[in-house]
Amino acid sequence: MNDRLIAAALAARENAFAPYSKFRVGAAIEDALGRIHTGCNVENATYGLTVCAERVAVFKAISEGARKFRRVVVAADTELLTPPCGACRQILWEFCGDVELDLVNLAGKMETYRLKDLFPKPFDASYL
């Protein structure tokens, strides 16, 4: 997998703080200018305050001034590729729209989706 965004997601996964679940996830988002923003999951002893890699990457990108995005990669060490959870799908939709989403694992397996295929009827500002 010779792809900068995939490499960034795999590298971000190495920084995950997952002492409880041992489930380490990395995410990388490419903005409209080609910049890459990464995130990893960060667990907390209360579990409910844990933050997923995808949300960390989105919030980091927003905090760095990015507003438009091209693509997202989520990397985990699982045989079945790991899609974003419901909360992450909502955040990805709100900030990235119908972005291309690649799921990858450490063995080189990859699947590509559009976010609307994983999140077919999202709640967004159009309902407000």
Residues catalogued as catalytic = 54
Provide the strand spans (E) within the chain: 25-31, 36-40, 69-76, 100-104, 110-114
Structure token digits, residue 63: 């905090």
Helix 53-63 and helix 86-96, axial crossing angle in degrees, nearest 10: 30
